[in-house]
Amino acid sequence: MGMETSLLILIAFVSAIIFILFGLLIVVYIITKPYPNLEVTADSELYFYNAKTDSQERFPSIKDKPTVTLSVIVPAYREEKRLGKMLDEALPYLDGRRARDPTFSFEVIVVDDGSDDATDRVALDYSRRVGPDRLRLLKLARNLGKGGAVRRGMLAARGQRLLFADADGATRFSDLDRLERELQSCTGGRRINALICGSRAHLQQDAVAQRSFVRNLLMHGFHLLVWLCCVRNVKDTQCGFKLLTRDAAHLLFCNLHVERWAFDCDLLYLANQFRVTVREVPVNWTEIDGSKIIPVFSWLQMAFDIVLIRLRYLLGAWKIESRHRLE
pLDDT score at 205: 57
Q: How far apart are CA 265 and CA 104, in angstroms?
A: 31
User: Phi and psi dihedrals of 37, rounded to 5?
Assistant: -85, 110
**Span 28-325 CATH architecture:** Alpha-Beta Complex (3.90)
Question: Quick one: which of 308, 289, 299, 286 has its CA closest to 220?
Answer: 299
Block means of pLDDT (10 residues each) for the chain, 327 residues, are 73 80 78 88 93 92 97 97 96 97 97 96 96 96 95 97 95 96 87 92 57 64 85 91 96 95 94 95 84 68 88 92 67
Alpha helices in the chain (DSSP H): 2-31, 83-100, 119-130, 146-155, 176-187, 204-210, 213-229, 246-253, 263-273, 295-315
Which pLDDT score, from 0 to 100, does residue 25 have? 75
pLDDT of residue 207: 46
- Domain coordinates in residue numbering, the chain: 28-325
**Pairwise CA distance, residues 183 & 278, whole Å:** 9
| DSSP states along 144-161 | --HHHHHHHHHHT--EEE
Please state the pTM of the whole predicted model.
0.88
Segment (H or E) for 106: strand 106-112
